[in-house]
Structure 1
Amino acid sequence: MLDAALRSLASGDVGAASANRIAREIGATWGAVKYQFGDIDGLWAAVLHRTAERRGRLPARPPSGASLQARVAAIIDTLYDGLTAPDSRAIETLRRSLPRDGAELERLYPQTAAELQSWGRSWIEACQTAFADVDVDRQRIREVASFIPGAMRGLVSERQLGSYYDLDLARRGLTNAIVTYLQAPPR
């Protein structure tokens, strides 16, 4: 059921977030889906959890002694490539169908909201781990970790839409800007 939900969501059609539509596509009733997951919130939380399991830990821990430049470039490249995967497209479709307001999301879909929050915590931890043995300001790592996913979604969108920009150059520029910011003395 989860794979069918992911395939449906990966189509990019916001209507694919309909529980009845997913049930119909897998040849089941909504009652069968509800029995398995409790409700739509349980289904979406399970979908998010499944994609996190398939994704594994991102980014991988860099080799000891890797330069700051190499670490940042690895994160940027990993996200750039990963955000075009079908699971990422499915998550973007799901997110478009969910409430934007965090309080409303938590009220209507508490399990889904908790899963998304765990993703955020895992991402911050992964970035902190990637820079654990490098002398950089921890607050700046949190700041950078907070904006990288949005910046990468922008670059991936440019790639998908067909861009007039050199996206390899854009990734190098973003990497260099982040490295410069992380190396700068704190104010």
Structure 2
Amino acid sequence: MKAGARRANRRGIQSRESMLEAAIASLATGDPAAVSGNRIARDIGATWGVIKYQFGDIDGLWAAVLRHTADKRGDLPAAIAHEGTLHERVAALVHAMAAGLRQPESLAIETLRAALPRDHAELERDFPRTAAELASWKPNWDNACDRAFADLDLDRVKIRKVAALIPAAMRGITSERTLGTYGDLDDALDALIGGIVAYLER
């Protein structure tokens, strides 16, 4: 490849990444109106034609946004040290997710998900690439959680159920923190961790 072509390719990659970062920043405001191709184009100072050139269509843009957030997030459970007591591992996993859900990328995902069809058939019909990206997260998360406890003698079915519980529970706690509450959310986290440990040990 010639030097000029390589430079052009690098500029294209940088432009694509800058568009994705700008789209995430716009979605992270929580404004439902941000879930619009024209709004994203305006916010990032581009035309819809430029975005369409990079991502194909709105489905391609949303799928790319989700993939970009996943790449930045990495394999969260795998990043937790696979050592220590069961309580320490569960606590590390829960607190890591709590921190992750407060990041702009997570806020952007929540805004986008709130605007997408709830019905899987409708989502897969209207936004097939976005649906495929979202669907890929569950098995990846399940497998990562399984690896996080791989050396412990635990029921694998229970680990799968815990993997389903943690994201749902943590989104609820994070929502309470965002909206404001008189409850003690640190107590809620402690209860969640203790409950998971007791369930896995039972």
SS across alignment from 2:77 = coil
How many residue pairs get matched?
Answer: 184
Aligned to 1:59: 77
Matches within 5 A, 1:1-187: 1-184=19-202
Structure 1 unaligned residues grouped into runs of 5+: none
The residue identity in structure 1 corresponding to 2:155 is D
Q: TM-score, normalised by structure 1?
A: 0.95
Unaligned runs of 5+ in 2: 1-18
Q: State the alpha-carbon separation in 1 of the partners of residues 21 and 82 from structure 2.
A: 37
Residues 22-44 of structure 1 deviation map (CA, whole Å, 9 limit, x = unaligned): 11112211111111101001000
Higher RCO (C-alpha 8 Å, min separation 6): 1
Distance across 1 between alignment mates of 2:164 and 2:95: 16
Q: CA deviation at 1:64?
A: 4.6
What is the CA–CA distance in structure 2 between the aligned matches of 1:128 and 1:60, rounded to whole Å?
9
Rg bigger for which structure?
Answer: 2
TM-score normalised by length of structure 2: 0.88
Contact 2:81 2:89 in 1 (8 A): no
Which contiguous aligned blocks of 4+ residues in structure 1 show a shift greater than 3 angstroms? 60-65
Change (3 A) 1:104 1:78: same
